[in-house]
Amino acid sequence: MRNILRVPPTIRPLLLHASRAPYHSYEHVQPSPYREAEREILSAGLTHVPTHGFTHEALTTGAKDVGYLEVSTNLFPKGPFELVNYYLVTQRLGLKDRIQFPSEKMGVGARVRSLVLERLRANVDSGVQPRWQEALALMSLAENIPASLRELRDLSDEIWFLAGDTAVDSSWYTKRASLAGIYAATEVYQTTDQSADFRDTEEFLDRRLEGLRTVGSAMGNTMEWVGFQGGALVNLLRSKGVRI
């Protein structure tokens, strides 16, 4: 808990989820928060990330691809971070279409594992994985941390939802916060993974999930858990050079 209190006040609620009603609408309609012009420019921009990285160049080239001007990138006050955020949002919303669970018998835990792996695979398929450290660097800039953490929380929520977890008990916050931490750590690991087919990333994930299973059952106090995971996140960000 000490760690989380050191987090700037604007970020605290993102880690704690405290005042939030369960975010997920079970009708499951999630319109893209982007306007058409933004969608066009940003998705064109993403196609240039493998060559230009998450940079102003990629954004500008994308804008010009779809009939906009150099100067039109003023539409994006956060510059290249908007590319990152757009990528995160679209991959989160697209996750449900990337995966079909073959059998009803598959447990929630196994589904969570598949969903995380599938989401990580998207980084490879879309060609951004070799550039992902640039994205992490942008996400860890002070002004971008709130949006990044919010997106991480929403991804965690989406994964639990798609995994079919419908429990609305006291474990709700715990599960979401822990998965967020595990996902973030695994994604960082993925950026440096040299193994074939990202086998090492998969093993890394399995170790973390195993840890969650054993520690998680013993950990009764929700807030302690959230504090712990919040601390883990903060440490992770610190390791990326963020001063919080």
Q: For residue 101, state whether it binds another protein (rule: CB under 8 A).
A: no
Give dist(CA 201, CA 190) in Å, integer. 6
Stretch that binds another protein, among 120-128, 142-150, 166-174, 209-217 (CB under 8 A): 142-150
Q: Are 171 and 91 in contact (CB under 8 A)?
A: no
Q: How far is the CB of 244 from another protein (least distance, A)?
A: 17
Is 93 a binding residue for another protein by CB under 8 A? The answer is no
Q: Among residues 44 and 205, whose Cβ is nearest to another protein?
A: 44
- Separation of alpha carbons 115 and 10, rounded Å: 29
Which of 74, 166, 170, 192 binds another protein (CB under 8 A)? It is 74
Question: With CB under 8 A as the contact rule, which of the stretches 67-75, 129-137, 202-210, 223-231 interacts with another protein?
Answer: 67-75
- Segment 6-25, which members bind another protein (CB under 8 A)? none
Going residue by residue from 32 to 61, which x/- string records binding to another protein, judged by CB under 8 A? -xxx-xx------------------x--xx
Q: How far is the CB of 88 from another protein (least distance, A)?
A: 13
Query: What own/partner pairs with CB < 8 Å and gap ≥ 24 does 126-130 have?
Result: 126/46, 126/87, 126/91, 127/49, 127/50, 128/46, 128/49, 128/50, 128/54, 128/87, 129/190, 129/191, 130/50
Tokens representing residue 174 in the block: 């715990």
Q: Which helix (H) or strand (E) holds 125?
A: helix 108-125
Instruction: Round to whole Å and give the CA distance between 93 and 29.
Output: 10
Binding site for another protein (CB under 8 A): 33-35, 37-38, 57, 60-61, 63-64, 66-78, 146-147, 150
